[in-house]
Amino acid sequence: MRAFARVVVLDDQQKHLDIIVRALGKAGFGAISYLVEDGAVTPEVVEPCNGLRLIFSDIHLTPTSGISGIDNIGILGPFLRNITTSGPYGLIFWSKFAEDEAEIVQTLKDRAQDLGIQLPVFFGFIDKKAVLTDLDDEAEEVEETTPNNFRNLILAEIAKCPTLRAVMEWEERAFLAANSVSNSLFKISESPQNGAPEDSWSNLIAFLAQEAVGKTNAQNDPLRAIDNALLPILEDQFRYSLPSNTSNAFDQIKEKLSGSRLSLPPGVSPAKLHSYYLVETLTDSNTAHQLRGTISAIEKDDFDKFFSQCFASKWRNLMLDEFIVQGPNRETFEEARKDKDLPVRISPCLIALSPECDDVQGKVVTQRYLLGVILNNEDARFCEHEGKLARDALHSIGKIEYNGSEKLIIVSCRRFLAIPTSVIKSMPLTPLLRLRRAMIDELSHHYTTYTRRPGVMRFS
User: Residues 253-283: pLDDT tens digits?
Assistant: 888 888 888 888 888 899 999 998 999 998 8
Q: If DSSP codes are grouped into helix, strand and coil, which group holds residue 26?
A: helix
Residues 49, 43: Cα–Cα separation, whole Å: 13
pLDDT at position 288 is 82
Sketch out the chain's domains with CATH numbers.
7-160 (3.40.50), 167-189+202-247 (no CATH), 271-452 (no CATH)
> 96-120 in b/e burial notation, b at 16+ Cβ within 10 A?
beeebbeebbebbeebbeebebebb
Q: What value does the mean pLDDT take over residues 74-96?
A: 91
Q: If DSSP codes are grouped into helix, strand and coil, which group holds residue 97?
A: coil
In 3D space, the residue among 182, 200, 186 whose CA is nearest the CA of residue 237 turns out to be 182
Q: Is the dihedral of CA 53, 57, 59, 64 positive or negative?
A: negative
Global confidence as pTM = 0.77
Supply the angle between the helices 303-311 and 315-322 in degrees, to the nearest 10.
60
Average pLDDT, the chain: 83
User: Residues 90-110: pLDDT tens digits?
Assistant: 999 988 878 888 888 998 999
> Is the model more confident about 145 or about 375?
375
Per-residue pLDDT band at 353 (split at 50, 70, 90): confident
User: Residues 430-448: pLDDT tens digits?
Assistant: 999 999 988 988 888 888 7
User: Residues 110-148: pLDDT tens digits?
Assistant: 999 999 999 999 999 998 877 766 555 444 344 455 667
Q: Which of 192-196, 202-206, 397-401 has the highest mean pLDDT?
A: 397-401
> 185-217 in b/e burial notation, b at 16+ Cβ within 10 A?
beeebeeeeeeeeeebbeebbbebbbebbbeeb
